[in-house]
Structure 1
Amino acid sequence: MKIWKLVIPVLIAAQALVIAPQASWAGEKTVTDDTGRTVTVPDRAERIVVLHEPLLGVPILDIGGTVVGAYGRTDDGKVLTAVNFVTAVLGPDAPQPKSGIGAIGTIDLERLRALHPDLIISTEHDRDKADQLSAVAPVYLQASSTGEVYGFSSQADLARLIGREGAFETRLAEYRARLDEVRAVLPESPQAKTYLAIMVSDQVSLVGNMSGLVQAVEDLGYTRAPLGEAGAASGLGSTFAVPLSSEILGRLDPDLLIVMKSYAEADRDETAIRQRLDRIMPGWERFMKPAREGRILFLDSAPVATPTVASAENFLDTFEAWARH
């Protein structure tokens, strides 16, 4: 799964544009983005365009922000990617960006300008596009995979950027209350217990630190199991997945093993995950200790993958149902 392979393959369309001055706002502030650029932005951004919807758009929508456009959607707002992360994470009734900003691989500056954004947010991987996009609106580059991002910490950063700190604190309080509810029904405390989360596709990957899933499972009290001689942990950073060999997979023995299938695939339920494991490692149910002892949680990756409170809550819902059985 490469939601977390974050370099967006964008080629800004060559267009002859008359560069109009950016709009002014009732209030503004000067901030430093995660690449060290100084940017003047509205105190409270109301017309935001994002270049990465799962990492940036969903966190903003989760705290009540307004995203008017997003890379990866058509001009009428239909999703061009395999998963609609807004509905997968926030539910079918959640507000969605109503427009895209060009076909996959291209940003249409005229289309972008027509949305009248007051702020454009992208990841640090789009630094080379910042100057061109700044002709339309201020551009803020948010860290996403530099090893400095954990759980839904980037959502807190975005809340401060767009002036929605209070909304984030409300969501955080709701999450903490839900966390207490789930802890209360567990047969035993997860404190001092270990976990690992893996993704199975054509290969097996170890899930990194940047997702609501990781935030929630560690807030419950689990700690990431050491891989010992496997040595893969040194490459975790905050990207979503790190390759893991089948040999190492067979030796994994955390107290909780979370297994998911790539969000890019249509079938992501338990049956599909089991079938993929059968292909990767025939006989896994017999020789993997967590499988023999019922310590595997099969999980749909899409609802828990984003760095949001909502993804953390989605994990808690599934974990509670699993723990009650």
Structure 2
Amino acid sequence: MSDKNAKLINQLRALVLLTQTEEQVARTRVSQARTDAVRRELQQNADNAAARTLEITEQLRALGGVPDVVTPAIGRLTAVLKATFEQAAPFEEALLTDLQLEHQLLDRARYLKVLADQAKETKVRQLAEKLVDAHEATVEWLTVVLAEEAMGGPAALVPTPVQKVAGGVARAVNAPVRFWANTVNNAVDTVKHAGEETSDRFAAVTDRAQQLGDAVRETLTAGRSASLRRAEQIARREGDKDAADAARSAREELGDVSADELPIKNYDQLSVGDAVKAIKGLKEPHDIRVVIRYEETHKGRANVASAAQTQLASLAKEAVGVDS
């Protein structure tokens, strides 16, 4: 076997392993799709990866290489382990790992193309070109998803409950005094220190309610939605704009806004077509996020939410310099 053929076989074997992992990752991501359209796209990506695995294996055989019967199992195991361990990491870290995998596939496909040129293996070169196109598209898609997440989301993929907790812990480590310190406690100016960051910490905060003023006690026990609204009212009354804005942002994230708070006037009276048209006119990621959360919480019109998601993706593409 020539040195050139040996290099081709080594790269094809590596690509089989990585592509098998890619397929399994795509299948695990299906459950994290925000919309049916994204779910179908991920399912198609997984099916395409499976087809690419077969094509790579065929070329491997054609070059005299022995397909590794263990490799597919390793690929599946790698994907399972990846999905398991990434649960302990924030969502964006899982996406960055996905992107790293795609970049490795892309770089190896480009290297394979050059090797095939040098060995004058036309079919391998054609396969390499196909792989390059596929992975360039996936790299672009993941880059846009990350940009959506960076802009505040909601991204095409949603974090699992464990990843939400992991992300919250990471943010808490980096910025230990956030929502409660800047919202409830500062708003009523009765507590100087609070470690809780999210509304899920109400139980722990309530344990300290005896030490707080009547306004804080009322805020903590009235329920999450009422608490946030009350916190915002208190903050505005006290002139604490930052705290009021923080409470407002938390309500928006939960979809707990009224129609008159949306960036589109008379939203509840708009037909599906008019709502979609109005959403296409939104240029601020924040405004689009508010509409998406409101739709998901109050209206449940999948086509309208998808239109908003598409508009957000368009802005994300602009942010990262990707052509629509």
**What is the TM-score with the length of structure 1 in the denominator?**
0.29
**What is the TM-score with the length of structure 2 in the denominator?**
0.29
Structure of greater Rg: 2
